[in-house]
Amino acid sequence: MLMLEMYNCLENSMAGMAYTFKCNIKCKHCLFKCSPKRKEKMKLSEAINYLNVLASEKIKYVAINGGEPLLFFNEINRLLAHAKKLGLKTAVISNGFWAKNEKKALNKIKTMRKNGLSALAISFDEFHQEFIPVENIANIIKASKKIKEIKVKLKIRGLKDLKILELINELSKKTGKHTINVSLESVFPAGRAHKIKGIKKVCLKKTRKVKCSVIFPFINPKGEVYLCCNAACLGKKSVYFLGSTKEKPLEKILQEFKKSRIAYLLRNESIYDLPFLNNNKNKYAGICHYCMEKIGRIKKKKLLSLIEDYYSK
Among 77, 95, 238, 260, binds ligand SF4 (CB under 6 A): 95
Helix spans in the chain (H): 44-56, 73-85, 102-114, 134-144, 163-175, 199-202, 250-259, 261-268, 287-290, 300-312
Rank residues 53 and 231 by Cβ distance to ligand SF4 and give the closer one.
Answer: 231
Residue 138, burial from CB neighbour count under 10 angstroms (0-12, 13-18, 19+): buried
The piece of 166-174, 176-184, 251-259, 284-292 that touches ligand SF4 (CB under 6 A) is 284-292
Among 41, 82, 108, 128, binds ligand SF4 (CB under 6 A): 128
Q: Is 225 in the site for ligand SF4 (CB under 6 A)?
A: no
Distance, in Å, from the CA atom of 190 to the CA atom of 68, rounded to the nearest integer, reads 19
The piece of 77-85, 106-114, 286-294, 301-309 that touches ligand SF4 (CB under 6 A) is 286-294
CB atoms within 10 A of CB 283: 12
Q: Is 228 in the site for ligand SF4 (CB under 6 A)?
A: yes
The piece of 65-73, 101-109, 249-257, 273-281 that touches ligand SF4 (CB under 6 A) is 65-73
Q: Are strands 218-219 and 224-226 parallel, antiparallel or unpaired?
A: antiparallel
Dihedral, CA atoms, 300, 305, 306, 308, nearest 10 degrees?
Answer: 130
Q: Are strands 14-18 and 61-65 parallel, antiparallel or unpaired?
A: parallel
Cα–Cα nearest to 66, from 99, 101, 29, 30:
30
The piece of 43-51, 62-70, 147-155, 196-204 that touches ligand SF4 (CB under 6 A) is 62-70
Among 81, 214, 274, 277, binds ligand SF4 (CB under 6 A): 214
Q: Is 123 in the site for ligand SF4 (CB under 6 A)?
A: yes
Q: Is 125 in the site for ligand SF4 (CB under 6 A)?
A: no
In this structure, the chain runs to a length of: 313
Q: Is 230 in the site for ligand SF4 (CB under 6 A)?
A: yes
Smallest distance from the beta carbon of 14 to ligand SF4, in angstroms?
A: 12
Rank residues 96 and 116 by Cβ distance to ligand SF4 and give the closer one.
Answer: 96
State the DSSP string of 47-100: HHHHHHHHHHTT--EEEEESS-GGGGHHHHHHHHHHHHHTT-EEEEEE--TT-S
Phi then psi dihedrals of residue 159, to 5 deg: -115, 170
Q: How many residues bind ligand SF4 (CB under 6 A)?
A: 24
Q: Is 231 in the site for ligand SF4 (CB under 6 A)?
A: yes
Q: Is 63 in the site for ligand SF4 (CB under 6 A)?
A: no
Q: Is 190 in the site for ligand SF4 (CB under 6 A)?
A: no
Residues in contact with ligand SF4 by the rule CB under 6 A? 23, 25-27, 30, 34, 66-68, 95, 123, 128, 212, 214-215, 227-228, 230-231, 266, 287-288, 291-292
